[in-house]
Structure 1
Amino acid sequence: MKKLRILALVLLAIPTFALSGRAEVVDRIVAFVNDEVITLVELDTAFETYRQKIEESYKGPDKDRVMAQTRRSLLDRMIDTLLIEQEARKSGITVTDEEVMASIRGMLARRKMSQEAFQQALALEGKTLETYKREAKETMMRTRLVRREVRAKVMVTDEEIGEYYRLHRDSYEGSEAVRLKQILLVFPKDMNDAVREKLQALATDIGKRLKGGESFDSLAAQFSQGPAASSGGDLGFVEKGTMLPEVEKAAFSLSTKEISDVIESPVGFHILQVTDRRGEGNKPIETVREEIKSRIEDEKIDKKLDSWLTELRAKSHIEIKL
């Protein structure tokens, strides 16, 4: 994507004439980023998933405005990503395809999930494995660059940790909570008795497979329609008083690692597994010091990254042609 690519794309952007005499634009440049470009095809391809989600879920009267704003925000993110990639290359930071695949294999091993199940989970989110690999590579490159350019310059003092704990003390007076994994089969809007029986039979079969030793993560990725399905159905810690009554009653009656029977709620059929518990009471600062330090560090990094990107944009040649 050097100067020759820019020249080629400029030539592509010149109208080509079909036999009918009408002009058709094959592709065009939507942004110059130093000596590289982002094309309309690249933007439209990246935007397709967002477009589908807006079409499916947004019911407001100004859908076109939301589409345009989301598309422009995506272009800004693509520009930032390209700037970071350029800066990483200048600094000799690279991420190979094998490193990306090793990272994915490690993630799948931790979740006890097959690549096929993972690809099925991605498909439910409107992604392909190639899309995920590209995003993972960008994330790894960004992380390495940020670690060198930003994280190393961030310091968190004991005074800051103490002050954060004092100001957010309520956050560390935890209610009783369980860490849950969930497989959820959602009732469709047009459900009838036949559909309900089919879903219940599927839920019962999944429950038998789980209790027979199959991986919860894998079956969640394959069947769950609930949140975090692609992450093995892990909902994190959920406190009392925040769940559907039927689900909460079952969740807090389970012992750690135990798998529930099929639970019916107004939403659908649930299968739960409790992976951890925590009780009520105030957590002393010693037990949450690293958590607070990490949180303050992340906040500082976000601020420094924003200012670093602003500086990087200011010294770069960026021209938007959208």
Structure 2
Amino acid sequence: MLRIFFVVSLAACTAIASAAEPQKQPVPIDRVEVIVNDDVITRRELDERVASVTRMLLKQKTSLPDRNILERQVQERMIIEKLQAQFAKDSGMRVDDAQLDKTILRIAQQNKFPSVAAFRAKLEQEGTIFKDFREEIRTEMISVRLREREVDGKLVISENDVDNYLSNQERQEGKGEELQLAHIMIVVPEQASADKIQTYRTRAEQALAKLRGGESFAQVAAGFSDAQDALKGGEIGWRPADRLPPLFAESLQKMKPGEVSPILRSPNGFHIVKLLDRRSKDTPVVIMQTHARHILIKTSELVSENEAKERLQEIKQRIDKGADFAEQARLHSEDGSASQGGDLGWLSPGETVPEFEGGMDSLKVGQVSGLVQSGFGWHLIQVLERRNTDVSVEQKRQRARNAIRTFKSDEAFQDWLRQLRDRAFVEYRNAAK
């Protein structure tokens, strides 16, 4: 959450009314709406996605934007999804049905359903086509793994970055708060001319005018925002005040719940932020840390998912038969920790990607995991020790690293998507441009 090559007509094979049956209505013929490199978006696909988004917005009690605005937003989202899917396939990344089934089972359990069948029945009762839901989840999984590999794995956070961040936070108020936020982002292409930049600013001004005119933030976000959460009302949830980018933090300091910021300019574009609520937070001092090591086999254009998985399975079999984990890591791991026998040191919550952390947290001390997949490839993980640690000072620095990583990652991922979009061949064949 995949490819249809140059579909001319998906419904053309259905019978054309014959002269002997003039009473039959002609069957609507599907058509190509957008060409995205060597793939297409058809009118049927677009209509189905718009219908799905409409159901979601109505369920959230969000006022619907005009049909043409909603269609444009959905179409742009589908273009980005196609491009990510193409990039993932070309670079050897895929999500197979078994991995998808595990994720859907976890979603069902998180939503308190006794089984996937019960979850599916509920979705279909609400008008969601389960097959389409599966593919949307597959697309989301691909997006998360691409972000981990292409963006998060390449971020560098220096100690100087942390020092500067902490120094800045000491001068700001609200360090013990969490803020519930929603935002609208108008993306500005990297090489945009002055005239184009003004066009995007005008669009942001139009969005702000609608907000000040009384339209709901969710409705305006759905109609104007280029962010991934646009069709979810622009809500980005609760964020610690000391983890916000300075651009947002300075404006939010002066705002009350319910207020909307002026237009904010960042390297990626224009932003409008709404403060939904504030609450105090208690900063934990004692946390559980895990000392772990791992073996990583990466996937690439030359190494498929199955090849990487098979190689790691062979390594696991050797370890199960008594081979030394550290020695196998030195010989085979493709992570920077290989020279240390795969040793990652003491890890705090949030330091690794969710798939890795979930696999690690499920293990007992001394236990070796099954094969765990993340955006970086396939892992074997072994937990060596666990401890409760008072990390008052180090935790403060780690929280700063996580905060810097979060907003650097958000900006870098938007920039990566923008570059992916700019490099693509996209041709609109009909309306909703």
Q: Output the TM-score relative to the length of structure 2.
A: 0.42
2:249 aligned partner: none
Contact 1:85 / 1:141 at 8 angstroms: preserved in 2?
A: yes
Q: How many pairs are equivalent?
A: 219
For 1:293, the aligned partner's letter is R
Q: Which amino acid aligns with 1:130?
A: K
Question: Does the 8 Å CA contact 2:176/2:281 hold for their aligned counterparts?
Answer: no
Q: Please name the residue that 1:173 is paired with.
A: 176
Letter of the structure 2 residue corresponding to residue 135 of structure 1: E
Deviations 1:20-65 (A, max 9, x none): 6987642111110111111111011111133245567466xxx6x6
- Determine whether 1:43 maps to 2:151: no
For 2:105, the aligned partner's letter is R
Cα contact 1:12–1:28 (8 A) shared by 2 = no
Correspondences of 1:280-291 after superposition (within 5 Å): 286-291=394-399
- The residue type paired with residue 160 of structure 1 is D
For residue 420 of structure 2, the aligned residue among 295, 300, 312 is: 312
Q: In structure 1, what residue type is equivalent to 2:102?
A: A
Structure-1 residue corresponding to 2:134: 133
> Could you say which residue in structure 1 is the equivalent of 2:402?
294
State the alpha-carbon separation in 1 of the partners of residues 26 and 67 from structure 2. Answer: 26
Equivalent residues in 2 for 1:14-163 (5 A)? Answer: 19=22, 25-52=28-55, 57=61, 66-108=66-108, 113-115=113-115, 116=117, 118-119=119-120, 122=123, 127-163=128-164
Query: Contact (CA 8 Å) 1:165, 1:292: kept in 2 or not?
Result: yes
Cα–Cα, structure 1 residues 41 and 154, in superposed 2: closer, same or farther, change >3 Å?
Answer: same
Unaligned runs of at least 5 residues, structure 2? 179-236, 240-279, 286-390
Give the SS at the match of 1:308: helix
Letter in 2 for 1:102: K
Distance 1:122 1:2, change over 3 A: closer
Distance 1:306 1:157, change over 3 A: same
Identity of matched residues, % = 23
Code of the aligned partner of 1:37: V
Higher normalized helix content (fraction of residues): 1
Shift of 1:75: 0.6
Partner of 1:294: helix, strand, or coil?
Answer: helix
Superposed CA offset, 1:235-255 (max 9, x none) = 989xxxxxxxxxxxxxxxxxx
SS, match of residue 94 in structure 1: coil
Q: How far does the alpha carbon of each residue in 1:213-259 deviate from its partner, in whole angstroms, 9 at most, with x for none?
A: xxxxxxxxxxxxxxxxxxxxxx989xxxxxxxxxxxxxxxxxxxxxx
Change over 3 Å in CA distance of 1:78–1:280 after alignment to 2: closer
Query: Match of 1:150, SS?
Result: helix
In structure 2, what residue type is equivalent to 1:73? Q
The one-letter amino acid of 1:155's match is V
Contact 2:123-2:129 at 8 Å conserved across structures: yes
Counterparts of 1:155 and 1:124 in 2: how far apart (Å)? 46
Kept in 2, the 8 Å contact 1:54–1:67? The answer is no
TM-fit CA distance, 1:109:
5.0
CA distance in 1, matches of 2:62, 2:284: 41
| C-alpha RMSD of matched pairs (Å) | 4.1
| Preserved contact between residue 174 and residue 281 of structure 1 (Cα < 8 Å) | no
Q: Distance in 2 between matches of 1:98 and 1:145?
A: 19
| Separation (CA, whole Å) in 1 of partners of 2:157 and 2:42 | 42
Q: Secondary structure at the match of 1:172?
A: coil
Aligned to 2:300: none
User: Aligned partners of 1:136, 1:26: CA distance in 2, in Å?
Assistant: 28
Which amino acid is 1:296 matched to?
I
Q: Point out where structure 1 has 5 or more consecutive residues left out of the alignment.
A: 176-234, 238-276
Q: Which residue of 2 aligns with 1:227?
A: none
State how far apart, in whole Å, the 2-side matches of 1:121 and 1:89 are: 32
Structure 2: distance between partners of 1:147 and 1:162? 25
Mean alpha-carbon deviation: is it higher for 79-88 or for 107-116? 107-116
Change (3 A) 1:112 1:92: same
TM normalised by structure 1 equals: 0.55
Letter of the 2:133 partner, please give it.
Answer: Y
In 1, Cα distance between the equivalents of 2:134 and 2:114? 16
Give the Å deviation of 1:285: 5.3
